[in-house]
Amino acid sequence: GGCGVLISHGGSFLSLVLFLIYLGGMLVVFAYSAALAAEPFPESWGDRSVLGYVVVYLVGVVLTMIFFCEGWYEGSWMVIDTFKEFTMLRGDISGVAMMYSSGGGVLVICAWVLLLTLFVVLELTRGLSRGSLRAV
């Protein structure tokens, strides 16, 4: 879906990044599903502890969106190759530069969340007493 739209507008690099994010998400879902199938007594959405975690997570997401999404993207919202003049940089490359400059904080948060997700998946798939974070 989104990769095809980006490729049709000339954004080959960002569509590749989006495709890799999709693949990583599918890998996390597969690992979580395998861990859930191996768990004999999983906690459900109806438990109070799980509901508390969901509420704290949603409040954190909303506060992060309010803090970071206050208009850092307004100056660069255009279709690639809109201008017919000769330029040295393509639109997707300037989008990557925008991601590292103005969106640097969000990029750091995304990297931290992916690292945290990795540890969560490793702990979920640990088996009996062989965790990834166990004391040696």
Instruction: Domain ranges for the chain, please list them.
Output: 2-124
pLDDT digits over 53-87, tens only? 889 999 998 898 888 766 655 555 555 555 566 55
The model scores a pTM over 0.85: no
Predicted local confidence at residue 20, as pLDDT? 81
Predicted local confidence at residue 57, as pLDDT? 92
Encode 70-136 in three state secondary structure.
CCCCHHHCCCCCCCCCCCCCCHHHHHHHHHHHCCHHHHHHHHHHHHHHHHHHHHHCCCCCCCCCCCC
Predicted local confidence at residue 136, as pLDDT? 44
Can you list the residues of the chain whose pLDDT is less than 50?
A: 136
67: its two tokens: 């803090």
Residue in this structure with the two tokens 């997700």, named with its chain if needed:
117
Strand, helix or coil at 42? coil
